[in-house]
Amino acid sequence: MRFISALLVLSALALSGCARTDHIGKAPSFTPTTNNQEHYAMMNPPLPTQASVSRRSDTASLWSRNRQSLLGDRRAASRGDILTVVIEVDEKAQIDNESERNRSGSETLSVPQLIGLPQRLNSKLPAGATTDPLVDFSSDSKSSGDGSVKRSEKLTLRVAATVVDVLPNGVLAIQGTQELRVNFELRELLVSGYVRSEDVSRQNEITFDKIASARVSYGGRGQITDMQQPRVGQQVLDAVLPF
């Protein structure tokens, strides 16, 4: 059992180190743009749901709905189409909580005629000393709490996304990736979600607030990111140690 546990830990450490060995002595490598979901959507267009009869006038007319015409609708509507996602996040949140509680209590119990014991003890005590009261209880407790949460986030980005699927109700599933390498640091931007075709503007753009189940990841990998992240062993100890 110990051997298996040690083997699992070593495997996890080896896998975590593979991502860092990619940019040892060189800049991080870009993620391949082939054999992913976006490339598959572009290379495999969906089959038409109904047969359409083409006419020569459709391509020659300026008022045709065909995308190739002058006034055709070029907004993303089918699998493999590309649209621009505009991400503008400027949010602020501030929460302040404060609580205070005080409680005090005292109890005094006196038995001056307990078989004459107090009188006998008082006579042997120095002047001014007494055994009254024999029992005395007192308690005092105080608790206070103060909490504050303050967050401010601002992000402005634009990324091209691909329609990877069209759901039965006409909603478009989009996914987009963008990578920017500066020296030895690679910045990654990932976005995915679901949009309605009617929410896409005439400029073939969709804003972030109109994307359902939006998932946006803005991070990176490289030498600077490696220095900011704690070592895997330190993360394991932080999660296991109870103190």
* Helix, strand, or coil (residue 63): coil
Q: What is the mean pLDDT of the chain?
A: 75
Distance CA 220, CA 223 (A): 10
**211, 233, 115: which is closest to 157 by C-alpha?**
211
Q: 3: pLDDT confidence band, cut at 50, 70 and 90?
A: low
Average pLDDT of the segment spanning 144-148: 76
Give the best-scoring range by mean pLDDT among 8-17, 146-155, 172-181. Answer: 172-181
Model pTM above 0.85: no
**209, 157, 213, 210: which is closest to 187 by C-alpha?**
157
Average pLDDT of the segment spanning 118-135: 63
* Weakest mean pLDDT among 41-45, 68-72, 184-188, 221-225: 68-72
pLDDT, one tens digit per residue, over 51-101 is 666 666 666 666 666 666 666 677 888 888 999 999 888 878 888 777 777
Residue with tokens 């949010």: 91
| Count of Cβ atoms closer than 10 Å to residue 130 Cβ | 11
Q: 208 with 176: CB under 8 angstroms? A: no
Q: Sign of the CA dihedral 153, 156, 162, 167?
A: positive
Q: Which two tokens stand for residue 13?
A: 């450490």
Residue-by-residue DSSP string for 139-204? EEEEEEEEEEEEEEEEEEEEEEEEEEEE-TTSPEEEEEEEEEEETTEEEEEEEEEEE-GGGS-TTS
Q: 174 with 192: CB under 8 angstroms? A: yes
Q: 32: pLDDT confidence band, cut at 50, 70 and 90?
A: confident
Q: 98 with 146: CB under 8 angstroms? A: yes
Q: 151: pLDDT confidence band, cut at 50, 70 and 90?
A: confident
Per-residue pLDDT for 110 more than 60?
A: no
* Helix, strand, or coil (residue 108): strand
Average pLDDT of the segment spanning 201-221: 89
Which residues lie below 8 Å from residue 50, measured CB to CB, with a gap of 6+?
none
